[in-house]
Amino acid sequence: MKYNLKRNDEVVVICGDDRGKCGKVLQVIREKSRVVVEGVSVATKHVKKSQQYPEGALLKSERPIHISNVMLKARYDAKHKQETT
């Protein structure tokens, strides 16, 4: 299937918990039809004490979301303007 999204494209999340958030595409996972968007779908992971993290840590990372839940920001803005007028 062909996708019109590439790395560094600006997108808007159109449905889900993070609806309305904007961000840059960090990664496109074509095999699973998913994208990783900067600042969207952030999960927290607790890390035990180790040499790398002597006090332990809370690591935050973006998780992939389905490609159908995002839209290019330019298309979203054009569609939104058309609906309001």
Tell me the Ramachandran region of residue 4: left when phi exceeds 0, alpha when psi lies from -120 to 50, beta otherwise: alpha
Residues 9, 15, 21, 26, Cα dihedral to 10°: -30
Report percent pLDDT > 90 for the chain: 73
C-alpha span between 40 and 19 (Å, rounded)? 9
Nearest residue to 5 (alpha-carbon basis) of 77, 80, 69: 69
User: How confident is the model over 21-48, as pLDDT tens digits?
Assistant: 999 999 999 999 999 999 999 999 999 9
Place of tokens 């299937």: 1
Residue 85: pLDDT band (50, 70, 90) is very low
- pLDDT greater at residue 84 or residue 72: 72
CATH number for domain 10-84, candidates 2.30.30.30, 2.40.10.10, 3.30.9.10, 3.50.50.60: 2.30.30.30
